[in-house]
Structure 1
Amino acid sequence: MADEAVRSAFMEIQGRMIETTGKLKQVQNQMRNKETEKKRAYLTLEELKLLSDDTNTYKSIGRTFVLEPKSALMEEQEGKLKDSEAAISSLQTSKEYLEKQMAEIETNLRELLQQDPALARQIMSMSM
């Protein structure tokens, strides 16, 4: 009976670990995407600053280019830059939370394996 309870606890911890690992990878991918978006907006903004105010600038909309004032394009890029920074900050908070959750799950798993050495041996034999 106790053996079955330990196995079910292990399965629950394993499920939580898999779920948390997936969420952590998803957040890391989102952070990479936002970093790329932020860098692109920054570089575009820097290039726009080099242009004179009377230069014709165009905005890409799908496969079409539309004439836009330089100031409008700069505001748009500044907005993208600020949005990306805010999203990265939020994702960083989520990442830290998930990392703490992961550490807690690992601690729970270690404790469970220390309580039942037979389960630890069984898991080790399965992984070989």
Structure 2
Amino acid sequence: MADEANRAAFMEIQGRMIELTAKLKQVQTQMRNKEGEKKRAFLTLEELRPLSDDSNTYKSIGRTFVLEPKSVLVNEQEQKLKDSESAIASLQTSKEYIEKQVAEVESNLRELLNQDPGLARQIMSMTVM
């Protein structure tokens, strides 16, 4: 009976670990995307700043380019930069929280395997398909 309970507990912990790992990968992907947006906004700002205020600047909307004042484009890029930075900070907090959950699940798994060495041997003898 205890063996079945330990096996069920292992399956639950394993499912939780898979779920948390997927969430962590998703957050890391979102962070990479936001880092790219931030870098593009920064580089665009670096190119816009040296231009004179009366230069013709164009904003891309789909496959169309619309004439916009330089100040509008600079403001948009600065806002994108700020939004990306705040999103990255938020995602970093989420990442740290998920990493703590992963560590907790790992310790639960270690504890379970230390309690039942027979379960550990069964798991080690399984073949991965």
**Which residue identity lines up with residue 35 of structure 2 in the other structure?**
E
Q: Which ranges of structure 2 fall in alignment gaps of 5 or more residues? A: none
Secondary structure, counterpart of 1:105 in structure 2: helix
1:23: how far off? 0.2
Structural RMSD (CA): 0.8
Aligned residue in 2 for 1:75? 75
- 1:22-74 CA-to-partner distances (Å, cap 9, x unmatched) read 00000000000000000000000010001111110000000000000000000
**Which residue type is aligned with residue 57 of structure 1?**
T
Query: Where does residue 45 of structure 1 map in the other structure?
Result: 45
Q: Deviations over 1:61-106 (max 9, x none)?
A: 0000000000000000000000000000000000000000000000
| Separation of aligned partners in 1, 2:85 and 2:40 | 12
**2-structure distance, mates of 1:43, 1:120:** 53
Q: Which runs of 5+ in 1 are unaligned?
A: none
1:34 corresponding residue in structure 2: 34
Q: TM-score normalized by structure 1?
A: 0.98
TM norm structure 2 = 0.97
Partner AA of 1:33 in structure 2: N
Letter in 2 for 1:39: K
Give the letter aligned to residue 2 of structure 1: A
Distance 2:112 2:86 in 1: 39
Letter matched to residue 38 of structure 1 = K
Aligned to 1:7: 7
SS in 2 for 1:50: coil
Instruction: Spell out structure 1 runs of 4+ moving beyond 2 A.
Output: none
CA distance in 2: counterparts of 1:72 and 1:84, whole angstroms: 18
Partner of 1:105: 105
| Percent identical | 81
Aligned residues: 128
